[in-house]
């Protein structure tokens, strides 16, 4: 088993919980304010993690200009994506649609991995891309 597997499992569980809580919040807070609370809380959580590293003697954080630039772009994508998920749920979108939506993102990542990061294409990866895009089209009904 890869040494990153359990990190992937925890990330999947937490991102799944993230969407469940977003669905629960969507009818109780506006999209912009809800997104701000989500992202502000996320920033605070990361700040606590950084403090734990710093004061625990495990500081290993580095940065470069490109790393900061891409992190800013990531933050923009997450912020706008969070607002869109709030809007999706406020407009009556079902929680059960989220896996297919995220699969669309997964397809985009798989394509980028193959074409931009020179990851080896494989039949399961290609089929995953096709199924993810098909799932997005099935959402239209």
What are the structure tokens assigned to 98, written together? 């989220």
Token output for 40? 């502000």
Q: Is a pLDDT exceeding 90 seen at residue 139?
A: no
In this structure, are 78 and 101 located in the same domain? no
Identify whether residues 89 and 125 lie together within a single domain: no
pLDDT surpasses 80 at 98: yes
Domain identity same for 68 and 41: yes
Domain assignment present for residue 12? The answer is no
Q: What is the pLDDT of residues 24-34, one digit of tens each?
A: 999 999 999 99
Confidence of residue 62 (pLDDT cuts 50, 70, 90): very high
- Per DSSP, 61 falls in state -
Burial class (CB in 10 A: 0-12, 13-18, 19+), 34: buried
Answer yes or no: is pLDDT of 67 > 80: yes
Residue matched to tokens 């990542």: 109
Q: Domain for residue 19, yes or no? A: no
Residues 6+ apart with CB under 8 A from 19: 85, 95, 98
Question: Are 105 and 85 in the same domain?
Answer: no
103 and 68 share one domain: no
Q: Indicate if 76 and 102 belong to the same structural domain.
A: no
Backbone angles phi, psi at 120, to 5 degrees: -70, 125
Verify that 86 and 99 share a domain, yes or no: no
Angle at 140 between CA 137 and CA 15, to 5 degrees: 75
Residue 25 domain flag: no
Q: pLDDT value at position 132? A: 83
The verdict on 86 and 101 lying in the same domain is: no
Domain holding 104, by residue range, is 94-141
């Amino acid at each position: 088993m890869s040494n990153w597997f359990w990190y992937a499992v925890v990330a999947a569980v937490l991102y799944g919980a993230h969407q469940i809580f977003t669905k629960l919040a969507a009818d109780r807070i506006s999209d912009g304010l809800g997104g701000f609370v989500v992202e502000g809380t996320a920033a605070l959580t990361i700040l606590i993690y950084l403090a734990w590293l710093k004061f625990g003697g495990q500081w290993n954080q580095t940065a470069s200009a490109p790393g900061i630039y891409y992190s800013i772009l990531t933050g923009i994508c997450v912020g706008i994506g969070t607002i869109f998920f709030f809007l999706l749920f406020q407009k009556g979108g079902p929680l059960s649609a989220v896996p297919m939506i995220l699969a669309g993102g997964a397809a985009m990542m798989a394509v980028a991995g193959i074409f931009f990061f020179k990851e080896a294409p494989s039949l399961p990866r290609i089929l995953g891309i096709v199924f993810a895009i098909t799932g997005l089209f099935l959402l239209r009904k």
